Amino acid sequence: MSDTRGAKDPHPTLRDVAQQAQVSAMTVSRVLRDDPRVLPATAARVRAAAAELGYRRNEMARSLRLGSGTGLVGLVVTNLANPFYSRLALGVDAVVAQHGLKTVIGNTGHDVDSERGLVADLVARRVDGIIVVPAADDQRHLAAAAAGGVPVVVASRPPNGFAADCVLVDDYGGARTVTRHLLDAGHRRIGFVGSPPAVYTAAERLRGFTDALADAGLKPEPDHVRLGPQETEEAGRAAAELLDLRQPPTALFCSNNRNTIGAFRAIRGAGTDTALAGFDDFELADVLGLPLTIAAYDSDELGREAGRLLVGRLGEGPAEGGSGSGPPARRVVVPTSLVHYGTPGPA
């Protein structure tokens, strides 16, 4: 009989690395996906254990996948014409590519039936996991995919009716901060141009706007709020209506970059000095020649966080409370910061 004591396992697993490094399997997974929240000393110990055992990073996706996957990750977004989603896609791809996975992108056009069809098609093609920016609160198809064993990560809006990892932007805090900035500049008649309130991000940003006014002892004037625009042309018309009022707002806050661009065109067309603020930074915002304040965030990081969550979930099993007994669903919130292109004039 041959003596195999001390022989290196030719196929070490994630749990072998965890045992060698004296940490949990979850910690190993976080280190391998470059989670910055792991202590440097712990990360170094995990990587040393992986190297000693011969656990190769480029084989991670194969060893972590649930079942016999295809090496593909589905990414479903609502509007690829919006640069936000292309940046998010780049962030996702940058992370999953490190683990031998490739990204397949689908666009829903804000239509839940289209989203339902795309998700069904991705599941039928046996993708290893799906990252979705939901088009609506009806997410039963996502719950069904998760229950069927396909890891689902929800981005930009939280999961509804089922347990899943998600990554969000601080929509409420960013909108509240921007509105306070306009109030501090002396504006008291502030208009709001936002997407439909059924959209989670729009509702949260409207809530931040309203609470900032309440902090200043004000209430939003119903005539100063326009909800519904999602494209620049619609937003331009809504902003033009506000500027045409007998007592128009002295400042406008727009809930996304498409609405901000539309409002900018309306202000330029009206020839007013209306102050402008918005959510989501966008290219050429610094050369518009109009004082502009933006609640900005790193949309690439939003995608990277979604990718990290998905890669981690592939190694840990479905979320607790979802279709299995893996670790509880995680929620990551990407912070915002104020970016000033010029200073808003006084009211």
Mean pLDDT taken over the chain: 87
Looking at the predicted structure, is the pLDDT value of residue 301 above 70? yes
Looking at the predicted structure, is the pLDDT value of residue 1 above 70? no
**78-109 pLDDT per residue, tens:** 988 888 899 999 999 999 999 889 999 999 99
- What is the pLDDT at residue 75? 98
Cβ count near 235 (within 10 Å): 31
- What is the pLDDT at residue 148? 85
- What is the pLDDT at residue 177? 97
Distance CA 149, CA 127 (A): 11
- What is the pLDDT at residue 60? 41
Q: Which of 31-40, 251-260, 280-289, 307-316 reaches the highest mean pLDDT?
A: 251-260
In the sheet that 337-341 helps form, which strands lie side by side, from edge to edge?
Answer: 225-227, 190-194, 251-254, 275-279, 292-296, 337-341
State how beta strands 225-227 and 190-194 pair: parallel
- What is the pLDDT at residue 149? 86
Looking at the predicted structure, is the pLDDT value of residue 5 above 70? no
**13-52 pLDDT per residue, tens:** 778 888 999 988 778 877 877 777 788 889 889 888 888 8
- What is the pLDDT at residue 334? 96
Locus of tokens 């119903």: 222
- What is the pLDDT at residue 205? 97
Distance CA 128, CA 139 (A): 19
- What is the pLDDT at residue 102? 94
Q: What pTM does this model have?
A: 0.75
Look at 287 and 46; give whichever has higher pLDDT: 46
β-pair partners for 262: none
- What is the pLDDT at residue 15? 80
Which of 58-62, 133-137, 299-303 has the lowest average pLDDT?
58-62
- What is the pLDDT at residue 324? 52
Looking at the predicted structure, is the pLDDT value of residue 114 above 50? yes
**187-236 pLDDT per residue, tens:** 999 999 998 888 899 999 999 999 999 999 999 899 999 998 888 999 99
Looking at the predicted structure, is the pLDDT value of residue 11 above 50? yes
When pLDDT is averaged across residues 254-269 and rounded to a whole number, the result is 94
Share of the chain above pLDDT 90, in %: 61
Per-residue tokens: 131: 């990252």
- What is the pLDDT at residue 16? 84
- What is the pLDDT at residue 66? 39
Per-residue tokens: 38: 């792991």
